[in-house]
Chain A
Amino acid sequence: MQLIANITVLAAIYALLACGYVLIYRVSRVMNMAHGELAMLGAYLLYTTASLFADHPVGAIAAALVLSLTVGVLVYVALMRKMTGQMVLAAILTTIAIGILLRGVIVLIWSASQQHPLQALKFSNPSIELIGGARISTCAALMVLATVAVYAALFAFLRFGRWGMRLRAAGQNPLLAAQRGINLNAIYALAWALSTLTGSIAGMLIALDSGLDQTMVVIGLKAFAPALVGGLDSLLGALFGAVIVAAAEVLAIHYIDPLLSDVVPFLVLIATLIVRPWGLFGTREELDRV
């Protein structure tokens, strides 16, 4: 039972981070290598707002969410606007550079030592006993709930919302979308904002659960595996990919070797690339093959 609980929690983390990759890739065909750093930045923003609004935890969380949305828009407007649609290498390198920059800036502002936003918010994190004797912490449970909520909201937004439809249209064919009067810049900015927001939610919940330091970047990179396993342009795929990768990782840690935890997602990724490079639910035409 404990194993299943662990898999669920890890899958929730991966799914919440992976949907950020999927959103940006689906709309603008850019792989955002700075996603882990942006998630980390969101968590640090929560840490700051928590100490600013010491008595209003809800206000602090809301402020941090708004700030992370702004960060997403700013990253697009200031940097990625020039790079979207450019050579793959240039776009990837720009996001990598953004990541490096953010890492440095975060240490400069908040120092490299571990922070605990949980205490700053004056929350406690008791563990909950589930049916079958498994135990998970409250924050982990919140993580699962948040993932369900975010995915439900994203599906509803993309399926029924006016802006969601525009987003899908821009992803399908930017030229036609632009000719139908869709403001591509606004759409791309929206995708970056949403991606940063969901990433930040993940970052905040991870930080609440297990403290906050630079290791979050690695989780962010590992979360790319589920996004690709499921198919880079499919949200549903990200969900399935997250479950697959999380299951593989937890089982490998439990039965083989704890050191494997950092490679298993990448092994799954390589296997996917060999067998089915476009992922479980991805669009096949994505890959231009010789």
Chain B
Amino acid sequence: MLPSQSDVSRRVRSRRRPACRTWINRMLSGVVIGIMTSAIASAAPVSDHLDLAQYRGQVVIVDFWASWCKPCRESIPWLNELRARYAAHGLVVIGVNVDAERSDAEEFLREVPIDFEVVFDPQGELAKRFDLQGMPTSLVFDRAGNLVETRLGFRQAMKAKHEASLKNLLNNTGH
């Protein structure tokens, strides 16, 4: 599917940016992923495209996960917790599932419920666009829509540090 021009929003700042930040440009110009539309057995809203422009002004965590990813069984409950704690302060969490088989993802969700929005990416197009270096990967965007952090892997030992940096981003209401 072609990027939707109507999703183009505010222009990014003109000063020179590191390569990773051009990804948000692509996102802002609209990455539309054609996905299956069947409903899943989960309370979380299902989406068939990822459009971050609508979350401008909020802090967004995009987490790539899969049913076969062992650390995801721990990272997802933690993201559920963060969302419960900080949604009112402007946190949005979006999960991107990269399972090739939708049924594998559904089985995982029966064991590990997800309280945030899930986007399905079975062909790995989103994963490719963000050039994921490993699984799981969490992308953190600040209120201005800039990609500020790419977290590779999940470790219990890093939870406190990640939460602290998240609070910082949430406190930063200006740009």
A, B: real partners = no
